[in-house]
Amino acid sequence: MSVQPQVGTLNDAELWRELGQQLRVDSIRCAAVPKSGHPTSSMSAADLMAVLLAKYLRYDFDQPEDPRNDHLIFSKGHASPLLYSIYKAVGAVSDEELLTFRKFGARLEGHPTPKIPWVDVATGSLGQGLPIAVGVALAGKKLDRLPYNVWCLCGDSELAEGSMWEAFEHAAFAGLDNLIAILDINRLGQRGETMHGWDLASYTRRAEASGWAAIEIDGHDVGAIDRAYEEALSITGRPTVIVARTIKGKGVEAVENQPGQHGKALDDPEGSIAELGGERSIVVDVRKPEGDAQPHTFETSSLELPTYESGKDVATRKAYGDALLALGKGRGDVVALDGEVSNSTHADEFAKEIPERYFEMYIAEQQLVAAAVGLQVRGWTPFASTFAAFFSRAYDFVRMAAISRANIRLSGSHAGVSIGEDGPSQMALEDLAAFRAVHGSTVLYPCDANQTAKLVAAMADLDGISFIRTTRGATPVIYDAGEDFPVGGAKVVREGDDVTLVGAGITLHEALKAADALAQQGTSARVIDLYSLKPIDGDTLREAVEATRGRIVVVEDHWPEGGLGEAVLAALAGTELQFAHLAVREMPGSGTPAELLAAAGIDADAIAAAARKLVSAAAVAH
C-alpha cells in the first residue's frame, strides 16, 4: 500500500503531518532490512523533525561544507533511522541507499558517523551530542560569527548523563541563543521507564534553573511544534530547550508506548506501514542559508615559536603555554580551551593575550573535550588542556571523537609521580595507555622545552586525536632550539654500546643521569628519548638494541601497562632482548618528586642498577 498525497494541495500542517508519517514509515522500512535498529525511538521524534525540516532548518544539502549552514546533531544517535529518513526526505539519499542501513560497507551505520557528509560528529554514546552542539554553537557565536543555528535532538534517557547538564550550564553561561535543544520525552528507555517518565516539568525546571528558556509542548502537535520553533528563534541571550512530550513507537499500536520495544525492528513492518497510511515520497526542499556572510577570520602576525637556552630549567608545561600562545599569534585558526587549571597548564598565556579565541570550560572535562570536538566541526584548530589525570574523565568523549574523525589536540600536564606532594589523585599514571588505545591517535611526551614547542606546533597540523603529556617540574633544556622532532621519531641523545636506556619526559633526564653514572664505571649506555610513543620509531629502537647486544632498560613514570614499556615491546616484537622495565608498580603517596621517583624505582639510581644488572648478567653468561 502506498499513499502519494498531492503535496501541492496540502496546507502546512497537513504537509508536516504527512512528512512525519513518511519519516516513521521510512524508519520502519530501513530497520526492517537488517532486522535491527531503533525505529520506535525514531517514531517519537518524527513530527518534531518534520516541522524542523519543512520550515526552520537552513541547510544546503549539496554543500554540506557551506559555513552558513545550520547544524543538526542527533544526540540520541540511535534514532539513526529517523536521521537517514530525513536525508531521504530532503533528496540527499536515495530510497535504495536508505535500505542499506546497517549493511556491511554502507555509510548508513547503526549510529551516525561523519562518513555521511551531513553528519558533523559520531553519536551513539548517549549524552555527547548536546555538549558537542555547545562547541559548534560557540564556534558560531564567538569565532565564525555567523548566524547559523545548532539544532540538537536529545533523548530523555540520556538526560541522566551529567555531561548533558554540563552542556546546559555552559550554554546558558555563554549565552548561546543559537542553540536549540529538542528533548524527545518519550518516557521509555531501553529497559523501562526513565526516572521522570512524562514529568516534563522535571526537565523544564532544571533547564530553567540553568538559565535556559524552556517551552513544553506536545511533540506530536505540529502546530505547537511550529510555534515552539518560532519562539525559540526569537529568544535572544540564552539557549532554548523544547521539552516535547512524545510517544515512543507513535502511530503503530503494537509498539506505541510499550516497554520492551527499544532497539528492535518491528515484527510486522508491512502491517505497521499500512497502519501509518503507507509509503510516501514527499521531497522537502530545505531552505538554504541566506546572505553571503563568510566566517570571521582573525588577524595574525608571524608564527615565532619560543626558544629556550640549553641548560636552563624550564617545565615542559610552561613551554606548552608559550608555544600555544605563539601558535595563536601566528595562526588565526588556532583556539584554546582549558578546564579551569590554565594557570597550571599554562594555557593562561593564550587566555590573557588572545581572549577572543580562548574558552574557559571550568571543571567540566567532558564539556571541555566536547567543545573542542564542536569547534573543529567548523574547521577551527582546538587545543584543550587540563591535568593529564583528568582527561580520564572525558575518555568516552575522546573515544567517540576518534569515531567522529575529529581533529583535536589535548595537552595533559602534571603527569606521573614526579608531580610530588599532591598525591596519586593528581598523578596521571594511565594516560599513555588510555591515549595509545584510541584509534588513529598520536601520543607525545617531550622532555624539554624546545622539543615541546616543536611538537606543539606539529600538533596543529595533525589529523585525529593528538595528546601531549607535559611535566610539572622544571627540567633542563637539553636540545638546541634549531633541532627538529618529527612526530614518529625518537632521538639518540647519547651513543653507547653496552646497554640502551629508553625514557621520555621526566625519565629521560633520569636516564641521562644514569648514563653519566654508568660511564664513570666504564659502562657505555645509549640513551633514547622516546618522545613519540605513537607513532613509534621502531628503527631507532632496533638499531639501539642491535648496537647494545639486546640489552635495554625502559623507564617510565606510568603504570607498567600500556605505556612506554609495552610500546617498545610492541615495536620490537619478537626480538630477543635482555629487557628491564622500570615503571610505577605500587600506589604512590605524597613526597618530593625525587623521593617519589626513587620510591617507584624509576630514578637514575634505579636505572643504573637495572642497566648494571643486565650488563653483568651478560658478562656472567659469556
Question: Contact with a copy of itself (CB under 8 A): which of 278, 473, 476, 591?
Answer: 591
Distances in whole angstroms, Cα of residue 146 to Cα of each of 119, 176, 432, 579: 19, 13, 38, 57
Candidate residues 175, 231, 362, 538; the one interacting with a copy of itself per rule CB under 8 A: 362
**Identified binder of a copy of itself from the candidate list 60, 208, 218, 497, rule CB under 8 A:** 208
The contact pattern for a copy of itself, residues 108-127, with x = CB under 8 A and - = no contact, is: -xxx-x-x------xxxxxx
Nearer of residues 289 and 505 to a copy of itself, judged by Cβ = 505
List the interface residues with a copy of itself, window 327-346 (CB under 8 A). 340-344
Q: Rounded to whole angstroms, how far apart are CA atoms 80 and 73?
A: 11
Query: How far apart are CB 428 and a copy of itself at their closest, in Å?
Result: 9
Please report the sign of the dihedral spanned by the C-alpha atoms of residue 351, residue 356, residue 362, residue 367. negative
Is residue 576 a contact point for a copy of itself (CB under 8 A)? yes
Pick 298 or 362: Cβ nearer a copy of itself: 362
Contacting a copy of itself (CB under 8 A), which of 569, 601, 605, 609?
569
What are residue 337's DSSP bridge partners? 359, 384
Distance of CA 553 to the CA centre of its chain: 34
Confirm or reject binding of residue 160 to a copy of itself (CB under 8 A).
yes
Question: Does residue 399 touch a copy of itself according to CB under 8 A?
Answer: yes
Beta strand pairing status for 442-444 and 532-534? Answer: antiparallel
Q: Among 7, 202, 281, 547, indicate the residue that binds a copy of itself (CB under 8 A).
A: 202
Name which of 102 and 454 has its Cβ closer to a copy of itself: 102
Judged by CB under 8 A, the residue of 573, 619, 620, 621 near a copy of itself is 573
Binding to a copy of itself (CB under 8 A) within 23-42 occurs at 34, 36-37
Residues binding a copy of itself: number (CB under 8 A) = 111
- Answer yes or no whether residue 320 interacts with a copy of itself by CB under 8 A: no
Q: Count CB neighbours of 429 within 10 A.
A: 24
Alpha-carbon separation of residue 563 from 276, 437, 472, 480 (angstroms): 56, 10, 19, 27
The DSSP bridge pattern shows strands 532-534 and 525-529 to be: unpaired
Inter-residue contact 113 to 354 (CB < 8 Å): no
E strand residue ranges, 488-550: 491-494, 499-503, 525-529, 532-534
Footprint of a copy of itself on 68-107 (CB under 8 A): 77, 102-107
Kindly list the distances between the CA atom of residue 445 and the CA atoms of 159, 257, 258, 469, 535, in Å, as whole numbers in the listed order.
37, 52, 52, 5, 12
Q: How far is the CB of 36 from a copy of itself (least distance, A)?
A: 5
For 391, residues 6+ apart whose C-beta sits below 8 A from its C-beta are 365, 369, 398, 410, 412, 428, 431, 434, 435, 467
To a copy of itself, the closest distance from the beta carbon of 618 in angstroms equals 12
The reply to whether 292 sits near a copy of itself by the rule CB under 8 A is no
Neighbours of 544 (CB within 10 A): 25
Residues 3, 402, 609, 618: which binds a copy of itself (CB under 8 A)? Answer: 402
Interatomic CA distance for residues 186 and 43, integer angstroms: 10
Residue 81: other Cβ atoms inside 10 A = 31
Q: Which amino acid is at 1?
A: M
Q: 283 φ, ψ to 5°?
A: -115, 120
> 410 pairs with which residues across the strands?
384, 467
Our finding on whether 386 is near a copy of itself (CB under 8 A) is: no
Q: Is 463 one of the binding residues for a copy of itself (CB under 8 A)?
A: no
Which of 1, 254, 363, 617 is the binder for a copy of itself (CB under 8 A)? Answer: 363
Reduced to 3 states, what is the DSSP secondary structure of residue 622?
A: coil
Extract the C-alpha cell encoding 95: 530510497
CB 18 within 8 A of CB 280: yes
**Per DSSP, which regions of 320-449 are E strands?**
334-338, 358-360, 381-387, 408-413, 442-444
**Residues 218, 516, 595, 605: which binds a copy of itself (CB under 8 A)?**
595
442 binds a copy of itself (CB under 8 A): no
Under the binding rule (CB under 8 A), the answer on residue 605 touching a copy of itself is no
For the annotated catalytic residues, the residue numbers are: 365
- Structure-block grid coordinates of residue 414: 602534571
Return the residue of 332, 476, 489, 560 that touches a copy of itself, per CB under 8 A. Answer: 560
Shortest spacing between CB 414 and a copy of itself, in angstroms: 12
Q: Which of 481, 492, 547, 599 binds a copy of itself (CB under 8 A)?
A: 599
Closest to a copy of itself by CB, 425 vs 520, is 425
- The residue (of 75 and 178) whose beta carbon lies closer to a copy of itself is 75
C-alpha cell at 576: 630477543
Using CB under 8 A as the binding rule, the residues of this chain from 513 to 552 that contact a copy of itself are 534, 550
**Closest distance to a copy of itself from the beta carbon of 287 (Å):** 31
The whole-angstrom separation of Cα 578 and Cα 132 is: 48
Determine the Cα–Cα distance for residues 430 and 584; give it in Å rounded to an integer. Answer: 10
403 lies in the site for a copy of itself, by CB under 8 A: yes
Site membership for a copy of itself, residue 496 (CB under 8 A)? no
By CB under 8 A, residue 500 contacts a copy of itself = no
Question: Is residue 570 near a copy of itself by the rule CB under 8 A?
Answer: yes
Amino acid letter, residue 518? L
Asked if 472 touches a copy of itself (CB under 8 A), the answer is no
Give the 3-state secondary structure percentages of the chain, helix then strand then coil, rounded to 5.
40, 15, 45
**Binding segment (CB under 8 A) for a copy of itself, from list 61-69, 274-282, 295-303, 418-426:** 418-426
Among 91, 117, 237, 589, binds a copy of itself (CB under 8 A): 589
Q: Among residues 52 and 370, whose Cβ is nearest to a copy of itself?
A: 370
Q: What is the CA radius of gyration of the chain?
A: 28
* Residue 503 in contact with a copy of itself, rule: CB under 8 A: no
Rounded to a whole number of angstroms, the minimum distance from the CB of residue 322 to a copy of itself is: 17
Residue 157 in the binding site for a copy of itself (CB under 8 A) = yes
